[in-house]
Chains A and B, each alone.
Chain A
Amino acid sequence: MTAAGLREPPAAKALLILAALAYVALMLLLPLGAVMYEALRKGWGLWHAAVTEPDALASIKLTLIVAAITVPLNTVFGIAAAWAIAKFDFPGKAALIALIELPFSVSPVVSGLVFVLLFGAQGWLGPWLDAHDIHIIFALPGLVLATVFVTFPFVARQLIPLMSAQGRADEEAALTLGASGWQTFWRVTLPNIRFGLLYGVLLCNARAMGEFGAVSVVSGHIRGQTNTMPLQVEALYNDYDFVAAFAVASLLALLALVTLALKSALEWRYRHELSAVH
């Protein structure tokens, strides 16, 4: 840090800090506040009624189910990918990593579109699915697929640099001591990657629960059946039922705040490992 006497004069410093705070307040705090304000505008009673309404409850349940399937799947994938990439050497690693990160650069709507193109009524497998009465689009499997696509890289991209930085030493030591592959993984690798794993899971979950564009395309927007919480928010909003829309939205906003708090706590707790990666 530059010596105190050399930094910007206190007046300039104060101005810069105020400008930054004002910008963040305008761009971030106001929208957050707006959600809470609009949700509680007509009082707690209406808020409670809105979030316990059957369709709303169904959307909450659906969101939780989708997340409960998506997150473990992508976590297992992320661990597998990080294991292969970090602990071994083979050609094409950089390409593989780039492919894994692909979903980040795809628009959410396109992410949903791809599954409609595969499984929709006019999709590749559409007729076959129809013939066997299997419903993917406009049903839970479609929602899960779209969400899995969108949240695909989250765990992997946390674990790959972390495990690469940690190297092979610990695992090789365990092997020389007689541990089997799985034992090595559970007792040696997993504890080492605790932080990165939790972090990745946290981000994956936040995105899985909050995804909108991709699921909008594959969902049938059928209330009570194929509406996740974000979709339910849209449905209520389009019905001009603003209080109810914001009420459900407020739950998602709370989820976001919890995610941020946990993220900060994890970053603080594991800051040493974090700096080793970066």
Chain B
Amino acid sequence: MASAPASRSTPLPGFGLSLGVTVLWLSLIVLIPLSAVFVRSGSEGWHNFWAAAGSSRALAAYRLSFGAAALAALINCIFGLLVAWVLVRYRFAGRRLLSALIDLPFALPTAVAGIALTALYADTGIIGRILEPAGFPVAYKPAGVVVALTFIGLPFVVRTVEPVLAEASSEVEEAALTLGATRLQTFSRVILPTIVPALATGFALAFARGAGEYGSVIFIAGNVPFKSEIAPLLIITQLEEYSYAGAAAIACVMLLISFAVLLLLNLLQHWQQRRVG
């Protein structure tokens, strides 16, 4: 479908202009500003860098942000698979509505999600009213962070698993059935292995998004240092104290972890390609 590759000598115009604009805009908006983080974080020397990025308060914040993101991504893997399964394989009234709704966390501003979740899970809220007396307080506790990040990450697993499930041929399932496998065996030995790469990708995306999330978490988290303070909040606190280098140091750590996850994601996608072939 695509024509044979052409070098820059193709008659198609606009290469210089479009590439120039692209690189210029990319540099101005993304690359130079991002480099400011790395430069600034080291501006006061290694010692101060580690004092800020490795302080026990920072470590507690990373534990919360990354730990809650991992847990939320895991929850989303399980329930996201369920939702994707139901959407792809079954027909029922309201299926299209359900599918459209899945993207709500993408479309809804994070601050709105934040206050809504707090309203629900506070001890006066519909859900909090049941959970809190039962000994499972959510609002203003780390659990609240997990709930918020589960909301945020919900679409990621569903949307990465859906196309893989949809493409899976029914021939392979029928083969398993003619060979005597029960439904459960067919699911665990034949279907599940083929969607594991997609699940892993969804997990990585949800995790990366959740680790840096601010708006939806900031209202429901307790924001108590060392206990329920997320890493992005710590960055803001440092800024408010005019400790630019300290804020940059913590941002540096978060960026490096994000990039590591990005790299992992790329490798996962390569893995997925090879499985398919």
B259 near A105: Cβ-Cβ < 8 Å: yes
Does residue A52 face the partner (Cβ distance < 8 Å to B)? no
What is the CA–CA distance of A43 and B23 in the complex, to the nearest angstrom?
52
Interface 9-mer from A84-92, A127-135, A190-198? A84-92
Given contacts A34-B119, A87-B12, A99-B31, contact A212 B239 (CB under 8 A): no
Q: In the complex, what residues of A have CB within 8 A of residue B116's CB?
A: 31-32, 34-35, 38, 249
Task: Digitize B238-266: 1 where CB-to-A-CB distance is under 8 Å, 0 elsewhere.
Answer: 01001010011001001100110110001
A206–B239 CB distance below 8 A = no
CB contacts (< 8 Å) of A234 on chain B: these are 111
Min distance, Cβ A105 to any Cβ of chain B, angstroms: 4
Cβ-defined contact, B115 with A24, below 8 A = no
The answer to whether A107 and B214 touch (CB under 8 A), given A117-B36, A212-B111, A233-B115, is yes
Scan residues 172-188 of chain A and give those whose CB is less than 8 A from a CB of chain B. Answer: 172, 175, 180-181, 184-185
Q: Determine the residue in chain A with the shortest Cβ distance to B98.
A: A24
A21-B98 in contact given A107-B232, A168-B10 (Cβ < 8 Å): yes
CA distance A120 to B34 in the complex (A): 15
Within 8 A of B (CB), among A135-173: 145, 148-149, 152, 164-165, 167-169, 171-172
CB nearest neighbor in A for B212: A107
Within 8 A of B (CB), among A26-74: 27-32, 34-35, 38
Q: Does A222 contact B (CB under 8 A)?
A: no
- In this complex, what residue of A is CB-closest to B7? A89
Scan B111-125; emit 1 where CB is below 8 A from any A CB, else 0: 111011101100001
* Chain A residues, Cβ within 8 Å of B86: 16-17, 20
What's the least CB distance linking B43 to chain A, in Å? 10
A223: CB under 8 A from chain B? no
- B163 CB to closest chain A CB, in angstroms? 6
**In this assembly, does B208 line the interface, its C-beta being within 8 Å of a C-beta of chain A?**
yes
Question: What interface size band does chain B fall in?
Answer: 35 or more
Task: Report the separation of the CA atoms of residues A252 and B174 in the bound assembly, to the nearest whole angstrom.
Answer: 47
Q: Main SS of the interface on chain A?
A: helix
**Binary contact readout B62-101 vs A (1 if CB under 8 angstroms, 0 otherwise):** 0000000000000000010011011101101010101111
Q: Quick check: B244 and A105 within 8 Å, CB to CB?
A: no
Residue of B nearest to A107 (CB): B212
Q: Contact check: which of A6, A28, A149, A152 meets B101 at CB < 8 Å?
A: A28
Q: Is the CB of A152 within 8 A of B22?
A: no
Contacts of B21 in A (CB 8 A): 76-77, 80-81
Identify whether the interface residues of B are mostly helix, strand, loop, or mixed: helix
Taking CB atoms and an 8 Å cut-off, the chain B residues in 217-243 that contact chain A are: 219, 231-233, 235-236, 239, 242
Q: Are B254 and A110 in contact (CB under 8 A)?
A: yes
Among B102-110, B132-140, B193-201, the one that faces the other chain is B102-110
Give the residue of B83, B211, B261 whose beta carbon is less than 8 angstroms from that of A24: B83
Shortest beta-carbon distance, A59 to chain B, in Å?
12
**B45 is an interface residue with CB less than 8 A from chain A:** no
- A116 CB to closest chain B CB (Å) equals 6
- A124-B3 contact, Cβ under 8 Å, with A30-B127, A149-B30, A234-B111: no
Contact of A89 among B6, B36, B104 (CB under 8 A): B6
Binding site for A on B (CB under 8 A): 1-3, 5-8, 10-15, 17-19, 21-23, 25-26, 29-34, 36-37, 40, 79, 82-83, 85-87, 89-90, 92, 94, 96, 98-113, 115-117, 119-120, 125-127, 150-151, 154, 163, 170, 173-174, 177, 183, 208, 211-215, 219, 231-233, 235-236, 239, 242, 244, 247-248, 251, 254-255, 258-259, 261-262, 266
Nearest 4 CB-CB pairings of A with B: A107-B212, A210-B109, A213-B214, A181-B13
Given contacts A80-B25, A110-B255, A260-B107, 11 further A-B contacts (CB under 8 A): A16-B85, A23-B83, A24-B101, A96-B22, A110-B37, A116-B239, A118-B33, A167-B3, A181-B12, A249-B112, A263-B100
> Which residues of A are in contact with B by a Cβ distance under 8 Å?
1-3, 6-8, 12-13, 16-17, 19-21, 23-24, 27-32, 34-35, 38, 76-77, 80-81, 83-85, 87-90, 96, 98-100, 102-103, 105-110, 113-118, 120, 122-124, 145, 148-149, 152, 164-165, 167-169, 171-172, 175, 180-181, 184-185, 203, 206, 209-213, 216-217, 229-231, 233-234, 237, 245-246, 249, 252-253, 255-257, 259-261, 263-264, 278
